[in-house]
């Protein structure tokens, strides 16, 4: 066929940049991460300190987004809440990806009985109702950010594991893997250095979708009052806003908007990565 040379620079970055959705999503994520890091600088006052000025509407002097029923500044709560939401989302997703990649790679490469056992385990975790299990665990072990992260990670790894396993199975008999075997490489080196770099695409994609799912799950727990009581979180803010829906729309709208934007951004990024990493679509205009 026509052996055309590749376009000069066709990196993942340049392919992502070509998708407007992806650029927007990356910008939104970058801004929320910056906000979370710079929370102490951006917050106007202590998010916990109440005042007599309760239920002030947005654009009140000194309270750009208004205050809640205890007179706490909503803007400051939102800024500190970004820390919890993003930390939970990213750490939980990262743990899920690590666990899933390790288990999937072992199952796919070793095969046989071990593969069967690990995949049944994955199915077990996948069939559990996520939210119910999260509630039960928090109720048992107490509510802390760490527990939330662990629960979400344990519930999310099977998806990554399945994808990695499928990729490893197709590649373990690839000619370049056999060449590495003939080259005296150990099984670990073969999996880590030859096979995994070629299945990174689905891992990255599910990883970013996992972040979105984790943020949503954390917000859900917070909404039901199961969040860490010592921290401000967007879910927790929503929980308190419930009773004031009629009097103070701003108490629910701002955290709700924050969750929507960040979750949407990670989902968009996941979709864009999926397209950009898919070699079949790579050269599409």
208, burial (CB in 10 Å: exposed 0-12, middle 13-18, buried 19+): buried
CB of 210 to another protein, least distance (A): 23
CB of 4 or CB of 113, closer to another protein: 4
- The residues binding another protein (CB under 8 A) are 1-8, 174-176, 178-186, 189, 193-194, 197-198, 283, 285
CB of 276 to another protein, least distance (A): 16
Polymer length in residues for the chain: 285
CB of 142 or CB of 183, closer to another protein: 183
CB of 61 or CB of 285, closer to another protein: 285
Nearest to 27 by CA among 36, 37, 17: 17
Q: Is 22 in contact with 272 (CB distance < 8 Å)?
A: yes
CB of 3 or CB of 61, closer to another protein: 3
CB of 193 to another protein, least distance (A): 8
CB of 190 to another protein, least distance (A): 10
CA distance 202 to 273: 9
81, burial (CB in 10 Å: exposed 0-12, middle 13-18, buried 19+): buried
Nearest to 55 by CA among 43, 71, 74, 44: 71
CB of 68 or CB of 194, closer to another protein: 194
CA distance 160 to 167: 11
CB of 28 to another protein, least distance (A): 28
Q: Is 30 in contact with 266 (CB distance < 8 Å)?
A: no
């Amino acid at each position: 066929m026509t052996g055309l040379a590749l376009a000069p620079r066709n990196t993942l970055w340049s392919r992502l940049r070509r998708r407007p959705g992806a650029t927007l999503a990356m910008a939104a994520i970058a801004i929320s991460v910056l906000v979370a890091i710079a929370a102490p600088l951006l917050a106007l006052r202590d998010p916990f300190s109440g005042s007599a000025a309760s239920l002030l509407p947005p654009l009140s002097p000194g309270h750009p987004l208004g205050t809640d029923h205890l007179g706490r500044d909503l803007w400051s709560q939102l800024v500190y809440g970004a820390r919890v939401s993003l930390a939970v989302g990213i750490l939980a997703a990262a743990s899920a990806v690590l666990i899933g990649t390790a288990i999937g790679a072992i199952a796919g490469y070793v095969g046989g009985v071990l593969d069967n056992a690990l995949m049944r385990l994955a199915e077990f975790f996948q069939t559990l109702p996520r939210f119910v299990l999260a509630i039960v665990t928090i109720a048992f072990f107490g509510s802390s950010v760490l527990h939330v992260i662990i629960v979400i990670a344990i519930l999310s790894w099977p998806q990554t594991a399945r994808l990695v396993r499928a990729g490893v199975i197709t590649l373990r008999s690839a000619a370049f893997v056999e060449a590495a075997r003939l080259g005296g490489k150990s099984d670990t080196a073969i999996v880590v250095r030859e096979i995994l770099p070629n299945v990174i695409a689905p891992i990255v994609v599910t990883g970013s979708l996992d972040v979105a799912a984790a943020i949503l799950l954390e917000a859900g727990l917070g909404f039901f009052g199961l969040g860490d009581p010592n921290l401000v979180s967007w879910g927790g803010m929503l929980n308190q806003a419930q009773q004031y829906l009629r009097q103070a729309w701003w108490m629910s709208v701002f955290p709700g908007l924050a969750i929507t934007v960040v979750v949407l951004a990670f989902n968009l990024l996941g979709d864009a990565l999926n397209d950009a990493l898919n070699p079949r679509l790579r050269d599409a205009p």
